[in-house]
Amino acid sequence: MKKHLLPLALLFSGISPAQALDVGDISSFMNSDSSTLSKTIQNSTDSGRLINIRLERLSSPLDDGQVIAMDKPDELLLTPASLLLPAQASEVIRFFYKGPADEKER
């Protein structure tokens, strides 16, 4: 048994840490006095990635949060919604709130 563990340990010792997309915080909040939000997505891998972004309004960012339907389909917009992000590159995603001006955090 020990004979098999050493070659296996040597094999895995050369593996670098996993690289992936970095989106920062998954949940972001837009204050009631703001109508735009920007987030940077970074691709730290050695290959391009196709990214599709979906927006949902939630009652809470916690596990028990429920999806709340948008009042209008164009209430919250983003650009770009899809992109091909090259290896070792980053892109800024912009979100635009076009709903009613009120005191609600988004």
Tell me the pLDDT tens digit for each residue of 57-82: 788 878 888 888 888 888 888 899 89
What percent of the chain has pLDDT above 90? Answer: 30
| Residue numbers of the domain that contains 70 | 18-97
Whether this prediction's pTM lies above 0.85 is answered by: no
Asked if residue 8 lies in contact with residue 78, where contact means CB atoms within 8 angstroms, the answer is: no
Where residue 43 sits, what CATH number does that domain have? 2.60.40.10
With CA atoms as reference, report the closest residue to 26 among 59, 51, 62.
62
User: Mean pLDDT, the chain, as a whole number?
Assistant: 79
Tell me the pLDDT tens digit for each residue of 14-32: 444 456 788 888 778 888 8
* Total domain count, the chain: 1
Q: What pLDDT is stored for residue 19 in this prediction? A: 60
3 lies in some domain: no
Asked if residue 82 lies in contact with residue 24, where contact means CB atoms within 8 angstroms, the answer is: no
11 lies in some domain: no
Q: What pLDDT is stored for residue 86 in this prediction? A: 96
13 lies in some domain: no
